[in-house]
Amino acid sequence: AVSKDVRNALEVWGALGQDINLDIPDFQMSTDIDDIKWEKGSDKKKIAQFRKGKLTSKEEAAYKLLENGTLKIKHLKMDDQNTYKVSIYDTEGKSVLEKTFDMKILERVSKPDISWTCINKILTCKVTNGTDPELNLYQNGSNLSKGSQRVITYKWTPSLSRKFNCTASNKVSEEYRVVDVSCP
């Protein structure tokens, strides 16, 4: 069974090797706040806590609790893909806010490569790295071809403009390459 926390979780996307801040939505730090606790995973491992204005938990080097309650996770690894729950209490011990984040880790896309053959006028755009890449091929700003795979091809007809732009993107990154196709 999926817990209520996970069903109502805020989906967040992190880039492998990069840092991410888990900002608490609709939360303003104030003097009434007594306790902010961050837990990771279904086993609710405490990773950071801020109590009575002081950091109380020994933070692992990968985590940093910022003054506004935000959790910074440094240099994301694949095993950081998990749920993170923040619980905030006031000076009376009343729950002010609870929020669960469902973090997915993606590899950033690499710069796409564009190749072409003049004989059959086939243009190929491919991306080597990246989780769930989306490729788009443009000419003069109009989309010629798109696909959710690593390679897309396009058969072009000779025209005045031979400038093509291929963009590779996913939820955490975007790269592009522009080429001028020259055929005799």
pLDDT at res. 183: 82
| Tokens describing residue 8 | 């109502």
pLDDT at res. 6: 57
SS3 category, 65 = strand
User: What is the average pLDDT across 143-162?
Assistant: 86
Residue with the two structure tokens 């609790």: 65
User: 4: Cβ–Cβ under 8 A, 6 or more apart, which residues?
Assistant: none
User: What is the average pLDDT across 93-122?
Assistant: 94
The amino acid occupying position 30 is S
pLDDT band of 52, cuts 50, 70, 90: confident
| Tokens describing residue 78 | 């694949």
Structural domains of the chain, ranges and CATH numbers in brackets: 4-106 (2.60.40.10), 113-180 (2.60.40.10)
pLDDT at res. 2: 44
Tell me the per-residue pLDDT of 5-29, one tens digit each, with 9 for 90 and over. Answer: 556 899 999 999 999 999 999 898 8
Average pLDDT over the chain reads: 90
The amino acid occupying position 91 is T
pLDDT at res. 5: 55
User: What is the average pLDDT across 90-107?
Assistant: 95
